[in-house]
A and B are shown apart, each in its own frame.
Chain A
């Protein structure tokens, strides 16, 4: 009984300490001003911090990763959950995809750094190699297993009598997938992608290695940027005073964004399961 309460207590404690330690930054700059300012001046005397470049970097990499991830994860989900459901090849494919989820993010970072960066530079997709596009691409590969496994589950949950009914009416397999499977599993698949977003938002290591870590607002997808998680990881060690408070404030914002996205995902999953 008691030990079950430990985790919620720790959770509340984390939120409480994030809030109390970030008040310095919010009091100095104001909540909305901190949120929408793109200043990040560390020069002592003219210190000024704003979270906008990092919020932008986080949201850009995450949603770009989501877009890139769809053409990879949706076919896998359909293959495993519908076309080859229950067959050996589907098991192999889903195992391999799930394996991707188990790879530590530093390995993705290394792969991105040594394999992907030179290719992006060679193709002139990113003049400096590092940047938002490079980071988003690696992030996309990282979230494929989350999106694919969960979507496959929802495809499997589509009642067979619905599909059989459609086949009996003379529908082709493609038509069944488009008209029956997708509409039925739709909200579940959507929630799978929401949860994948939740995963991408907080990813730190691989992104830090590939995004270029510059604290200015990114003007294009090809330029370097920074995310909320990676600015904290990079600058926490030597920070103190107002800067530390600002970093913790960014941590609080990241926590809120992630919690919000996960909440939406959870609600949608519950809805999908009740259909």
Chain B
């Protein structure tokens, strides 16, 4: 009962968000309509890419930004062709689904935006960030901050941490990083899409957090890099595992992808690599390995695979930077193209 009721809700929501018909409708001629839903973080990139794709191919693609969790739920209910997610599915989550393939589409990062009118450039380290967001460092002129920012006059002011009030892949990436750099964080707060931050205040979405940071002297908040780059909000340099202070940029984000496993499911925060921004992430599109579900046609299955291959093409990867994301490293593209070969329709290869 509960499941059906929820999936009806989710279905209605996805339909409204994408303002478009169901997957079964074909759109005249040979083209099919594909529907996806999920993460909001890559939404500007997907909107741009899917618009371009719909313009040049007979297939039409629509995507509803309803959150990573919602997208995976829709995939589970079989009402979308693909789901978008900022967090890869854990082994337990995978066990609840029929076999799926993860395809990374682009890279992003989480940056620390701050509001200190007299500070031009702020340097932070993972340990210091963890202590700020767990309430152990409460003043901007704390010794640990002074040590990282020699030659900068830090104000004698309270720190106001700002975090996300809604569940978010951004929070997951940020806290995943903090669990890796701070034992204390790992044992008390942990990583997740919602984390029980003990200090500060919360706001909804990147715009909400950025709005509070902009309006509140002494505030520091974490926001998606694509939003921070587009809005030109001041953000901090973060020290990586090699001890280098790294400016978040599309180059330093791409540099963070190191060893990638065959199924591409991996966290790339706190990588041990030179020039890498330590709070970087992939975002994935997730599809079923066997494309025959919910009365889908072979044409739809083929169109889904074509779309995913298009997402990995050099031309699309190059366009990520237009909307402030970072392109995938070649290794991730090669692995994904290989993984896509396993996608079948009724056991037939596509």
Kindly identify which residue among A117, A215, A240 contacts B196, using a CB–CB cutoff of 8 Å: A215
The reply on B274 being an interface residue by CB < 8 A is no
Q: Tell me the B residues contacting A by CB distance below 8 Å.
A: 1-2, 5-6, 66-70, 73, 158, 160, 165-168, 189-190, 192-198, 200-204, 208, 211-212, 215-216
The reply on A203 being an interface residue by CB < 8 A is no
Contact between B204 and A43, CB atoms less than 8 A apart: no
Q: Give the size range of A's interface with the partner.
A: 35 or more
Alpha-carbon separation in the docked complex, A131 to B203 (Å) = 12
Contact between B166 and A234, CB atoms less than 8 A apart: yes
Q: Which residues of chain B have C-beta atoms less than 8 A from A215's C-beta?
A: 196
Besides A214-B202, A235-B165, 10 more A-B contacts (Cβ < 8 Å) are A42-B196, A113-B215, A118-B215, A128-B216, A224-B201, A230-B165, A238-B70, A238-B166, A238-B167, A244-B6
Q: How far is the CB of B44 from chain A (nearest CB, A)?
A: 19
Query: How many A-B contacts if CB must be within 8 Å?
Result: 85
The reply on A212 being an interface residue by CB < 8 A is yes
Alpha-carbon separation in the docked complex, A220 to B16 (Å) = 41
Q: Which residues of chain A have C-beta atoms less than 8 A from B68's C-beta?
A: 238
Residue of B nearest to A39 (CB): B196
Contact between B69 and A212, CB atoms less than 8 A apart: no
Contact between A213 and B201, CB atoms less than 8 A apart: yes
- Given that A237-B67, A238-B67, A238-B167 are contacting pairs, would A208 and B200 also be in contact in the complex, using a CB cutoff of 8 Å? no
Contact between A237 and B167, CB atoms less than 8 A apart: yes
22 contacts between A and B (CB under 8 A): A21-B5, A42-B192, A43-B190, A43-B196, A113-B211, A128-B200, A129-B215, A129-B216, A130-B212, A131-B201, A212-B201, A213-B201, A213-B202, A213-B204, A214-B200, A234-B202, A235-B165, A237-B166, A238-B70, A238-B193, A240-B73, A244-B6
0/1 per residue, A12-26, Cβ < 8 Å to B?
000001001100000
Query: Which chain A residues numbered 84 to 142 have a C-beta less than 8 Å away from chain B?
Result: 113-114, 117-118, 121, 127-131
Residue of B nearest to A239 (CB): B167
Alpha-carbon separation in the docked complex, A117 to B160 (Å) = 14
Contact between A17 and B5, CB atoms less than 8 A apart: yes
Alpha-carbon separation in the docked complex, A17 to B5 (Å) = 9
Contact between B212 and A44, CB atoms less than 8 A apart: no
Q: Which residues of chain A have C-beta atoms less than 8 A from B212's C-beta?
A: 129-130
Residue of B nearest to A45 (CB): B190
Alpha-carbon separation in the docked complex, A21 to B3 (Å) = 10
Contact between A235 and B195, CB atoms less than 8 A apart: no
- Given that A117-B215, A213-B165, A240-B73 are contacting pairs, would A234 and B204 also be in contact in the complex, using a CB cutoff of 8 Å? yes
The reply on A40 being an interface residue by CB < 8 A is yes
Kindly identify which residue among B69, B192, B203, B211 contacts A43, using a CB–CB cutoff of 8 Å: B192
Residue of A nearest to B191 (CB): A43
Alpha-carbon separation in the docked complex, A209 to B69 (Å) = 23
0/1 per residue, A176-218, Cβ < 8 Å to B?
0000000000000000000000000000000011001111100
Q: How far is the CB of B17 from chain A (nearest CB, A)?
A: 11
The reply on A41 being an interface residue by CB < 8 A is yes
Q: Which residues of chain A have C-beta atoms less than 8 A from B198's C-beta?
A: 216
Alpha-carbon separation in the docked complex, A42 to B175 (Å) = 13
Alpha-carbon separation in the docked complex, A118 to B214 (Å) = 11
Q: How far is the CB of A133 from chain B (nearest CB, A)?
A: 13
Contact between B216 and A235, CB atoms less than 8 A apart: no
Contact between A114 and B202, CB atoms less than 8 A apart: no
Contact between B196 and A239, CB atoms less than 8 A apart: no
Residue of A nearest to B73 (CB): A240
